[in-house]
Amino acid sequence: MEVQRLCSVLDLHLKDKVYLVNNEYTIADMAIFPWIRQLLIGYKHSSGHTAASVLSMEKYTNILKWYENILNRPAVQKGITVCPFNQNNNNTKPWIKT
């Protein structure tokens, strides 16, 4: 419930905004992006349920627009390739051998 509350607050804050603070890309966007990314693509339970489905992330349209905007930044794309998400073994740190 707390995650849903926080998503609601963030979604409302992002209404009519491109970025979190003064419509400029800041450390706030950089800090929140990985949390939202995990809610959208991570946390898959062995039952097949994901955080995105349990939380109904599709209803947070402002978050989704913000997320896509951040995701499309070249530096973010580069950062994602350095440490890709691997749903199969959850080893998102390729330098750590599991």
CATH number for the domain running over 2-82: 1.20.1050.10
| DSSP H or E run through 68 | helix 61-71
Residue 68's pLDDT is what?
97
pLDDT band at 93 (very low <50, low <70, confident <90, very high): low
7-41 pLDDT tens trace: 999 999 999 999 999 889 999 999 999 999 999 98
pTM score: 0.79
- Give every CB contact of residue 7 below 8 A, 6+ residues apart in sequence: 39, 55, 57, 60, 63
pLDDT at 88 over 60: no
- Give every CB contact of residue 31 below 8 A, 6+ residues apart in sequence: none
